[in-house]
Amino acid sequence: MIHPRFIPLVGKQLWRHGTRSSLTVLGVAAAMFLFVAVQTLQQGVAKATSAAAGDTTLVVYRENRFCPATSRLPEHYEERIGKIAGVASVVPLKIVVSNCRASLDVVTFRGVSPENADGVAKQWTLVEGSLDEWKRRSDAALVGERLAERRKMKVGQSFDSSGITVTIAGIIRSTAAQDQNVAYVHLDFIQRASRTGLGIVTQFNVRVDDPAKLEATAKAIDAEFRTDSEPTTTRPEKAFVAQAGSDIVEVVGFTRYLGWGCLAAVLALVANAIVLSVQDRIKEHAILQTLGFRGGLIARLIVVESVLLGLAGGLLGTIGAAALIHWGGFSMSAEGLSVNVDLSPRVLVIGLTISALVGVIAGLVPALRAGRRGIADCFRAV
């Protein structure tokens, strides 16, 4: 765009108007902070609810029930589900949550029998503690890494939620979003502690042997229990998360408008700063033209100045958002299901790219006006 030897000149112009430049950068940073946060939320929802070709997990729930507290299915359904064609494995789960509505800090207990734990643990990495200790002690819990970080939990520590007291036997890391924010406990323990009684579970997680059979297997499961006293509704796991977390999906959908508002604010802030800067330097532009600076070069210098303001604010805002998201360990939960707020490098690149593009757009009009203004016109305008 311009030769690197002109960059110091642009820097001096920004430095000479330090207060204006600083306020513009801070304003852009605040707007880009919000924009990156919104993009991260949208990415988390998309990751948790978008179906993939290799998905093999179904969730069997009580028909016409939504909150885990209201879904009650007989545990003996496990045997009948296991006999249906296409089913590779069945895991009955009892789920107890501290809050069924959308929240940033929910403790979710998942009760699983020790016999099924080895199958569930295939996607875990044990960060601390012992799986054997969890199997040995009936009131032990394996806590997801994100929940442990948020609540400052340690192995050997006891904690209480929803009237249930457990001792942490281990901290797990998992590729599954739902495992990062839960405490796995013994199935019979959580059944007694929640006073729902033995033999009652909240849902069954079913793994099929072929992703192509996902929908057909779901229909077969529901048909099996259609005439029973506790009929079922079976959906792919991500479709289940999207339906159960509809409150979160709607809230995050609304934030798209906030994101566009942030971009508009960035454009207005940078454009205002550049327009004022150009107005203050009309005489200087005339002097530059007498020194041999062509109108096109002056215009490019102004655009570069605008881009630097946008990039400086964008960098500050994205770094702030990245730090908060990384250290905050936030998750949005609803109905016992979680949507993780994780910042990816892609979002950071998008934020900085948009900051630069907005800087170019904001600087174009004042740059063109300054580039077309003749020397005589510059002195008349002073």
Examine residue 220 and state whether it is found in any structural domain, yes or no.
yes
Q: Which residues contact 12 (CB under 8 A, 6 or more apart)?
A: none
The predicted pLDDT at position 141 comes to 93
CA distance 167 to 185: 10
Residues 75 and 133 in one domain: yes
Q: Residue 231: pLDDT above 90? A: yes
- Residue 94, phi-psi category: left (phi > 0), alpha (psi -120 to 50), beta (remainder): beta
Residues 226 and 283 in one domain: no
Examine residue 166 and state whether it is found in any structural domain, yes or no.
yes
Residues 111 and 194 in one domain: yes
Q: For residues 51-79, b (16+ Cβ closer than 10 Å) or e, as one string?
A: eeeeebbbbbbbeebeebbebebebebbe
The predicted pLDDT at position 250 comes to 67
> How large is the average pLDDT for residues 75-95?
92
Give the global pTM: 0.71
Examine residue 240 and state whether it is found in any structural domain, yes or no.
no
CA distance 111 to 332: 21
Q: Please identify, among 203, 230, 257, the residue that sits at the C-terminal boundary of a domain.
A: 230
Examine residue 56 and state whether it is found in any structural domain, yes or no.
no
Residues 150 and 256 in one domain: no
More confident residue, 382 or 60: 60
Three-state SS annotation for the chain: CCCHHHHHHHHHHHHHCHHHHHHHHHHHHHHHHHHHHHHHHHHHHHHHHCCCCCCCEEEEEECCCCCHHHCCEECCHHHHHHCCCCEEEEEEEEEEECCCCCECCCCEEEEECHHHHHHHHHHEEEEEECHHHHHHCCCEEEEEHHHHHHHCCCCCCEEEECCEEEEEEEEEEECCHHHCCEEEEEHHHHHHHCCCCCCEECEEEEEECCHHHHHHHHHHHHHHCCCCCCCEEEEEHHHHHHHHCHHHHHHHHHHHHHHHHHHHHHHHHHHHHHHHHHHHCHHHHHHHHHCCCCHHHHHHHHHHHHHHHHHHHHHHHHHHHHHHHHHHCCEEEECCEEEECCCCHHHHHHHHHHHHHHHHHHHHHHHHHHHHCCHHHHHHHC
Residues 216 and 308 in one domain: no
Residues 80 and 196 in one domain: yes
């792919």: which residue's tokens? 236
Q: What is the pLDDT of residues 233-267, one digit of tens each?
A: 999 887 777 666 556 666 667 777 777 888 788 77
CA distance 97 to 27: 40
CB 179 within 8 A of CB 340: no
Range of the domain at 259: 4-49+247-381
Q: Residue 169: pLDDT above 70? A: yes
Q: Residue 53: pLDDT above 90? A: no
Categorize the per-residue pLDDT at 221 as very low, low, confident or very high, splitting at 50, 70 and 90: very high
Q: Please identify, among 230, 259, 292, the residue that sits at the C-terminal boundary of a domain.
A: 230
The predicted pLDDT at position 61 comes to 92
Examine residue 235 and state whether it is found in any structural domain, yes or no.
no
Examine residue 242 and state whether it is found in any structural domain, yes or no.
no
Look over the chain and give the mean of its residue pLDDT values, rounded to a whole number: 80
Q: What is the pLDDT of residues 319-350, one digit of tens each?
A: 998 888 877 767 766 666 677 777 778 888 88
What percent of the chain clears pLDDT 70, i.e. is strictly above it? 77
Q: Residue 102: pLDDT above 80? A: no
Residues 270 and 156 in one domain: no
For residue 30 the two structure tokens come to: 């605040």
Distances in Å between the Cα of 173 and the Cα atoms of 126, 127, 182, 210, 306 are 6, 6, 11, 26, 44
Q: Residue 358: pLDDT above 70? A: yes
Examine residue 222 and state whether it is found in any structural domain, yes or no.
yes
For residue 317 the two structure tokens come to: 């805002």
Candidate from 151-155, 156-160, 161-165 with smallest mean pLDDT = 161-165
Candidate from 6-20, 51-65, 118-132, 278-292 with smallest mean pLDDT = 278-292
Categorize the per-residue pLDDT at 155 as very low, low, confident or very high, splitting at 50, 70 and 90: very high
Q: Residue 354: pLDDT above 60? A: yes
Minimal CA–CA distance to 270: which of 367, 348, 195? 367
The predicted pLDDT at position 289 comes to 59
Q: Residue 290: pLDDT above 70? A: no
Examine residue 32 and state whether it is found in any structural domain, yes or no.
yes
More confident residue, 19 or 149: 149
Distances in Å between the Cα of 77 and the Cα atoms of 72, 74, 91, 165, 375 are 11, 6, 11, 28, 87
The count of domains in the chain is 2
Q: What is the pLDDT of residues 185-199, one digit of tens each?
A: 999 999 888 877 788
Categorize the per-residue pLDDT at 24 as very low, low, confident or very high, splitting at 50, 70 and 90: confident
Categorize the per-residue pLDDT at 269 as very low, low, confident or very high, splitting at 50, 70 and 90: confident
Q: Please identify, among 230, 265, 296, the residue that sits at the C-terminal boundary of a domain.
A: 230
Residues 71 and 215 in one domain: yes
Residues 72 and 23 in one domain: no
Distances in Å between the Cα of 356 and the Cα atoms of 135, 280, 316, 319, 346 are 55, 24, 13, 16, 16
Residues 97 and 213 in one domain: yes
Residues 187 and 43 in one domain: no
The predicted pLDDT at position 54 comes to 65
Residues 263 and 194 in one domain: no
